[in-house]
Structure 1
Amino acid sequence: MPYNNQPKPDDRSDNAEKLQSMLQNTEENIRAAEESLKFTDSETQRQQIEEKNERRKESIESFRSEIKDEANNTQG
């Protein structure tokens, strides 16, 4: 039996929307983590939350850059 599996075409039509959704979810996660800092006495846990939020902030910048790229690609 021949192998007829074809790759799906690259559909980028909703990439900007997906990126925007991921950005908003990440912002919500940052707020929730900052709220949880109020309830922890563990310095280790506090440090882990702060480090994770820093990585989240870096991700947000990447999302924004990708959203701009997608917007530029759809305008051309």
Structure 2
Amino acid sequence: MANNKQHRPNPDDRSDNVEKLQSMVQNTIENIEESHESMQFAGPEEREQIEAKNHRREESIEAFRAEIKDEASSRENGFK
């Protein structure tokens, strides 16, 4: 049976992107803090893996913050 409905994309709702990104930054920071606590009980190999993961998390935070600036600017300019 063929579906004759056309699929239409949802409208681009960027109104809460800044808040979502800020929440993602906060969650990532919390993950880093929790991993520091778990490193106390980790062996050398696991410590190295945690440190590598935290490095990637810090890079993600930088990217989130850059995107927050872009989104905030877009919001101020009316999402043009």
Deviation for aligned residue 1:5 = 1.6
Indicate the percent of aligned positions where both proteins have the same amino acid.
57
Q: Which residue of 1 aligns with 2:19?
A: 17
Amino acid at match of 1:51: A
Q: Which residue of 2 aligns with 1:58?
A: 59
Amino acid at match of 1:21: S
CA-based RMSD: 0.9
Q: Which residue of 1 aligns with 2:48?
A: 47
Which runs of 5 or more residues in structure 1 are unaligned? none
Deviation for aligned residue 1:71 = 0.6
Q: Which residue of 2 aligns with 1:2?
A: 4
Q: Which residue of 2 aligns with 1:35?
A: 37
TM-score, scaled relative to structure 1: 0.94
- Counterpart CA distance in 2 for 1:5 and 1:63 is 31
- Counterpart CA distance in 2 for 1:65 and 1:5 is 33
Provide, for residues 2-57 of structure 1, a one-character-per-residue CA deviation record: whole Å limited to 9, x for no partner: 232211001000000000000000000000001111112x1110000000000000
Q: Which residue of 2 aligns with 1:68?
A: 69
TM-score, scaled relative to structure 2: 0.89
Which runs of 5 or more residues in structure 2 are unaligned? none
Aligned length: 75
